[in-house]
Amino acid sequence: MHSKLDCKSSCKNGNCVNEGGKEICKCNPGYGNYEETSCRACRCGPDTNCMWQSGWRPAKICFCKPGYTQLNNECVGPCTSDPCRNNGTCEVEGKGFKCNCSKPWRGKTCEIGPCDNQPCQNGGICNNGKTGFICKCFAPFSGPRCENGPCTSNPCQNNGICEVSGDSYRCNCNKPFKGTNCEIECDCGSYGKCSLEYGVKRCVCNSSFAEKNGKCE
């Protein structure tokens, strides 16, 4: 029988306690008794304990958590490969696993994020935030989804089509409308041509015709 001094001097990674009149080394978590008064690291996996069987080639028996089994001196199970992504935590559920995802991630392995459905418009770049997505917009676009731009307010009148041009917009006007916003009806009739000079309508009439009330007559 080991003496109290023997137990205390040899009990590493554990505490020497008296059980049934015998002093034994009570091992810390993650360690198993190699002898009654000594402990050896288990290395069976996280949150596991073990027992060592002495002999010519010491054998290790891992005490695995529910859902895990010993394979090659290690406890393996559904969560061993860390299947949960993006800081999700893995939990054994029956013979499989369940991921507890941290916001804003979701999916079986927490693989789906706010940017997966490409919420940013007009060439904006999506970044995953703590609670959702964040769009990095480029001029001239703005808004939570980069949805606001020069054409958002429909500046083109009379069914003109708005087109973003640089940091501003350009209206493609339908005849006979002209102007920055297709706001001027530029029609001089069948006997002349209409043009704009500094935003003012001007009729250039054919020979023998003259402008009258905005028409060539």
Distances (CA, A) of 4 to 8, 19, 53, 174, 194: 6, 12, 23, 102, 113
Phi and psi at residue 192, to the nearest 5° = -170, 175
> Could you count the other beta carbons within 10 Å of the beta carbon of residue 32?
23
Query: What pTM does this model have?
Result: 0.58
* Inter-residue contact 26 to 47 (CB < 8 Å): no
d(CA 36, CA 27): 10
Half-sphere exposure of 194 (CA within 13 A, CB side): 18
- Give the CATH number of domain 78-113; options: 2.10.25.10, 2.40.110.20, 3.10.620.30, 1.10.540.10: 2.10.25.10
**Does the bond joining 140 to the residue before it have cis omega, within 30 degrees of 0?**
yes
- Give the chain's mean pLDDT: 89
pLDDT of 3 higher than 50: no
pLDDT digits (tens, 9 = 90+) for 94-145: 889 999 999 999 999 999 999 999 999 999 999 998 889 999 999 999 999 9
Tell me the domain boundaries of the chain. Answer: 7-76, 78-113, 173-216
